[in-house]
Structure 1
Amino acid sequence: MPRPGTGGGGHRSAGGHDYSRVGGGHHVGNSTNRPTGNTSFNRGPTFGDGYHHVSPPPRRRYYGYHRNYYSHSSSGLGTLLICLIIFIALIFGIFSFSHESSSPTSTINREKIENPVAYDNNCIKDELGYIENQSKLSKNLKNFYNKTGIQPYIYLKSYDDSLVNDQQKDEYAQKWYEENIDNEDTFLLVYYEDLNQNEIGYMSCVNGKQVTSIMDSEAIEIFWNYIDRYWSDSSLSTVDVFTKTYDATAKTIMKKSTTSKDIIKIGLIIVGIILIIGGIIYILRMRYKREQEKAKETIEILNTPLDKSDELRDKYLNEERKE
């Protein structure tokens, strides 16, 4: 039986309640806007990136070449600063674009929990016949367990007329966890069939007390976002929907995404490195220039007639004393 609502939108439940475990409720309906938020509730643990020398111009008087050299150096430093500004602008531009258009991101460092219970393949209960191959899905869900240490459990519940509102459905999920799951290392997702079977039902999730350090409010928000993305994709089977949702959630929440503060920090480090390298190049350039000047003076002294050698020698010695 195909799942309802492929191609539709939805809205989420509002409001939260204090329970023994962390969880949340979620609507995937038929409105035009997809949901972006989630409800969470908590009654246990608190939520927790060599010198290049330009050949001199045609030979002229020494002091003319001296002035040209300084002009070249100044131009080089100006170019370096312009390139640096452009580089930083590009970095921030790329970050801004990726931040706005990319998948849900995580801002929290999470560590895989040490689950004392081995992965349980018997982690699906489908009363609706939506899941085409339960064995395949349970095998695929192990990737979520391997990355997070959390045991996933999916329960697709048939319509129950005694559950008339979202709060009662959330409470039912809590109670079902208590009565059917004997550990606190499981993440339970319950889907409630709607009275109109063509409408998408309500969803509720419940955390075991030991997994709140990973499935916190941000992680649950990310999970709902992926549910929204894949549920209405008619090209995906129900097995693919849940496989992609759990895989993408685990990948996202277990890896801290780059934030604007990280970009600023990296940018400052790069700027510092460039300035240091630029300073070293400038010092080497000036030293090389002085050595060239001295060599040029020596050659001129050697090539100057004797009647002018004393004058050049005196000038050279005076410059040496000034240094």
Structure 2
Amino acid sequence: MPRPGTSSGGHRSSGGHSSSRVSGGHHVGQSSRPTGGSSFNRGPSINHYHNTSPYRRGYYRNSRHGYTGSTSGLGTLIVCIIIFAIIVFSFFMISNDHNKVVSTINREKIENRVPYNNNCIKDELGYIENSSRLSKNLMNFYNKTGVQPYIYLKSYDSTLISDDQKNSYAQTWYEENIDNEGTFLLIYYADSNPNEIGYMAYVNGKQVTSVMDSEAIDIFWNYIDRYWSDSSLSTVDVFTKVYDSTAKTIMTRTTTSKDIIKIICIIVGIMIVLGGTIYILRIKFKRDKEKAEETIEILKTPLDKTDELREKYLNEERKE
């Protein structure tokens, strides 16, 4: 029997909570999605310098204008070009983030002492064409995350009407049928109408939440939505792609727009510090050079001439 929803899109929801194991819910249209099950039809100043030396005072004023008009302007232009290029690159990366499923958390593989269980599929609906093949494929998820997957496709049950009832059933079923806390259980509840997409709920074992956290669950639902409605894929291929893609994404921290902005801020900060340091060193070098030239000029100037010039500029300083 083909799975419902392979040719139409629609609505997804989930719900429930347990104090012992993690589960939760969401209905499409809410502003946020907590962890949980899913029922869905899927679709896509000016500073003044003062100096009593006449020679240094005049020389410094002239050299300062020459410096800021050439070398400083070129350096500023280069810095502006670099910053502009970084900003353009960052906007490009940020725009790509909206089209990409990303993980922002560093997760460590769970050291599950329980070996992989091949008997991890229960299909009462006849959707899965080859259970042994799917079970073998799901081992990749276990190897990357350390989490044991379990898929249960449950036939329609008229006693399970509300989302809360279905979530509660999932918790009870886990308790009665799974003897470890390292399993991620997914239950699909068939709808009374075989052509309608049913309800999905999950239950995390107590040891699973460090990997299958709220963000990882969001990523899992995203891949469910992406692949479930693809009529070109068999049900085995759908679940294989969902679990493989989820494992690959959640176990690899993706560079996001926030990371790029952080890098840009660091680069700009380094450039500012480096530029400021170079500027200070250049000023110091020029001042030292000016001082040395002034000293040479003073030594070359006759004593009587030096006294006359000194008196002249001292008088100017007093007038100011």
Could you say which TM-score interval applies, normalised by the shorter chain? 0.7 to 0.9
In the alignment, structure 1 residue 140 sits paired with structure 2 residue 137: yes
User: Aligned to 2:190, which of 193, 215, 222?
Assistant: 193
Contact 1:186 1:208 in 2 (8 A): yes
Q: 1:317 offset after TM fit, Å?
A: 3.1
Contact 1:37 1:224 in 2 (8 A): no
Match of 2:36 in 1: 40
Q: Separation in 2 of the partners of 1:112 and 1:180?
A: 24
The two structures, once aligned, show a CA RMSD in angstroms of: 3.5
TM-score (norm 1): 0.72
Contact 1:25 1:203 in 2 (8 A): no
Contact 1:25 1:205 in 2 (8 A): no
Cα shift readout 1:262-296 (whole Å, capped 9, x = no counterpart): 32331122224434555677689899999xx99xx
> 1:277 and 1:319, CA in 2 relative to 1: closer, same or farther beyond 3 A?
farther
> 1:71 and 1:40, CA in 2 relative to 1: closer, same or farther beyond 3 A?
same
User: Aligned to 1:93, which of 91, 94, 119?
Assistant: 91
Q: Separation in 2 of the partners of 1:188 and 1:26?
A: 17
> 1:218 and 1:198, CA in 2 relative to 1: closer, same or farther beyond 3 A?
same
* Aligned residues with identical type, % of pairs: 64
Match of 1:11 in 2: 11
TM-score (norm 2): 0.72
Match of 2:24 in 1: 24
Match of 2:59 in 1: none
Match of 2:244 in 1: 247
> 1:219 and 1:237, CA in 2 relative to 1: closer, same or farther beyond 3 A?
same
Q: Separation in 1 of the partners of 2:240 and 2:99?
A: 23
Q: 1:228 offset after TM fit, Å?
A: 0.9
Aligned positions, number:
273
> 1:9 and 1:106, CA in 2 relative to 1: closer, same or farther beyond 3 A?
same
Q: Separation in 1 of the partners of 2:187 and 2:20?
A: 17
Give the residue type in structure 2 aligned to 1:72: S
In the alignment, structure 1 residue 177 sits paired with structure 2 residue 174: yes
> 1:15 and 1:158, CA in 2 relative to 1: closer, same or farther beyond 3 A?
closer
> Runs of 5+ in structure 1 lacking a partner?
42-63, 295-313
Contact 2:17 2:24 in 1 (8 A): no
